[in-house]
Chains A and B, each alone.
Chain A
Amino acid sequence: MALRNFKLFRGNQNEGTMEHYSVEVDKGMVVLDAIHHIQAEQAGDMALRWNCKAGKCGSCSVEINGKPKLSCMTRMNEYGPEETISVRPLQSFPVMKDLVSDVSWNYEQNKNITPFKPDPLKKGNYIMMQEDIDRVQEFRKCLECYLCQNVCHVLRDQRQKDKFIGPRFMIRLASLEMHPLDTADRIPDVKDTHGSGMCNITRCCTDVCPEHIQITDNGIIPLKERVVDRYYDPLLRLFYKLFRRKSPN
């Protein structure tokens, strides 16, 4: 057991303070455990969101010493014994209370995505091979913790929420676009409504993803390349025109 110092944000969207707490911490504890102790013993009215405590539900996203993280997966021994650990709510979304922010903007974005549309003629015969599953499966590991949405500078600093759907939904788009059974065409939307060009591939989303999804390399960049095929590659367009071939995507 050791006494550790914390600074936790207490307040709401308009005002608040970083409050100091000290709490006894056991070996092997995660930051969420320590916050629970503080909540139980010293700050019963503190708001905090969590659910599974196993890194699977994506509820406990906060910023610990300025870094977007899942508090249930952040071990106390990541920090020096003398270090004060400061915890803040996600910065890119409105703060509801204390460590809880309102991420509902994200759910709205999801509704703008054209849903999965399988070929009706193949009804009842939807077979997928493992090779095709592998690529889209990676994106399905997403917890919707929104750490990537929170850290993306396009949304966070440049405040372009009306122009860019954000990394989490770019990989959802990728998983649908690369799906062998899907027949919808989302490339025009990827470019225009969802704003693939706003992302400058600086990879912070990938850096913070707790599921280690290669958001940029496997999701966003392949989508950007498909957008290039359609809109920015004059030779390719000429090729498809001359040979009257249908472009693969």
Chain B
Amino acid sequence: MVTFSQQSSGKFLSTYRSDKWWFEPLWTGLGFLSFVAYTTWAMFQGDYYWWSGGQEGFGGYLSPFYSPLLFIKEAVVGSAPMDHSWFGSWPGWWPVLIPASPAILILAGPLSFRMTCYYYRKFYYRAYFMSPPACAVSGISQKNYKGETALLVFQNLHRYTLYIALGFVVILSYDGFLSLFRGGEFGIGIGSIILIINPILLAGYTFGCHAFRHLTGGNQDCFTCPNGKPTFRHMVWRGVSWLNSRHILWAWISMLWVAFADFYVRMVSSGRWIDINTWGF
């Protein structure tokens, strides 16, 4: 006779589920890992992040991983002209052991936004922390589980990373605009399209953020006070809620696209791919 025991007392990964419950944590886990691997690699390169077909003046393609350019190291292949730097040339005190890459200075911003995002938290708690690995599948049983009340209490600061991300939406939109010019001349190329789609996807992700939803109207108890008419905030909240209900989709597309945009600029800048455009170079 098999004695029945409460499954919740079960060992790690024990479940009565007979379907492929491991599939979702597996693909999300591996998918995100490949993104992190590519981003880390691209971040350490420090070169081929800019392309303007050798033209001076306003315009060019800038990899979103490298924007904004706080400092620029001169005489690096595929680097941007110095007038694109916010604070001038590369600081002399920079440790030799760390590559002089402008991406290193800024990537923590968008990364902190994604890592504290309510959706990313769901997926990595499941895929990496196995807490739980899937629904009705036992995770690692902790004697004193604390959820997000102890070590993870910093997740409550997600809204601050949202403020940073909003800044990035503005900056990357400017980069999209910049990509429509080459040597001061207006035009369009495949790269411009890629770099314009990028901030749109990022905005779709950012404006659907739960913290943003709270800020726009979620913190209100009444949407029709004081005069019984729906307020402007209610309208904005509804728009944000629409994006929010598709947040997972925006999260993945915007993440893949930003990596693709970097890859595209890298390929064109290093001469491996030819950018089709109206400027003819």
Contacts and interface: CB of A to CB of B under 8 A. Distances in A.
A65 B131 contact: no
Interface stretch (A27-35, A50-58, A222-230): A222-230
B135 to A, nearest CB: 4
B224 A233 contact: no
A198 B224 contact: no
B131 A198 contact: no
Contacts of A214: 245
A56 to B, nearest CB: 23
A40 interface: no
B132 A153 contact: yes
Contacts of B221: 177-180, 182, 248-249
Interface in B177-228: 210-211, 213-214, 218-225, 228
Interface residues of B, number: 54
Interface stretch (B36-44, B93-101, B120-128, B272-280): B120-128
A199 B148 CA distance: 7
Interface string B235-260: 00000000011010000000000000
Contact of B136 (A67, A129, A158, A249): A67
A16 interface: yes
Given A132-B223, A217-B244, A9 B146 contact: no
Contact of B145 (A65, A154, A208, A217): A154
Nearest to B237: A135
B258 to A, nearest CB: 24
Interface string B35-66: 00000000000000000000000000000000
A11 B4 contact: yes
A204 interface: yes
Interface stretch (B78-86, B107-115, B151-159, B167-175): B151-159
Nearest to A135: B223
A201 B135 contact: no
Contact of A204 (B136, B153, B214): B136
Interface in A41-99: 63, 65-68, 83, 86, 88, 91-92, 95
Nearest to B244: A217
A195 B147 CA distance: 9
- Most chain B beta-carbon neighbours within 10 Å: one of A17, A83, A182: A17
Contacts of B7: 91, 156
Interface in A111-141: 127, 129, 131-132, 135
Main SS at interface, chain B: loop
B2 interface: yes
A89 to B, nearest CB: 9
Nearest to A198: B147
A27 B16 CA distance: 26
Nearest to B8: A156
A160 interface: yes
A229 B219 contact: yes
Contacts of A11: 4
Contacts of A231: 156
Contacts of A203: 122
B268 to A, nearest CB: 39
Interface bin, chain A:
35 or more
B118 interface: yes
Contacts of B247: 217
Contacts of A221: 118, 210
A3 interface: no
A157 interface: yes
A195 B90 CA distance: 48
A232 interface: yes
Contacts of A66: 15-19, 136
A159 interface: yes
A215 interface: no
A160 B2 CA distance: 28
B161 interface: no
A154 B244 CA distance: 25
Interface of B: 1-4, 6-8, 15-19, 118, 121-122, 125-126, 131-132, 135-136, 138-139, 141-142, 145-149, 152-153, 156-159, 210-211, 213-214, 218-225, 228, 230, 234, 244-245, 247
Q: Which 5 A-B pairs have the closest CB atoms?
A: A66-B17, A66-B16, A158-B145, A197-B149, A204-B135
Interface of A: 9, 11, 15-18, 63, 65-68, 83, 86, 88, 91-92, 95, 127, 129, 131-132, 135, 151, 153-154, 156-160, 164, 177-180, 182, 195, 197-204, 207-208, 214, 216-217, 221-222, 224-229, 231-233, 248-249
Given A18-B2, A159-B8, 4 more contacts: A132-B222, A154-B147, A216-B122, A225-B214
18 contacts: A66-B136, A67-B19, A92-B8, A131-B234, A153-B139, A160-B147, A198-B146, A198-B147, A201-B122, A202-B131, A203-B122, A204-B132, A217-B245, A217-B247, A225-B218, A228-B159, A232-B153, A249-B221
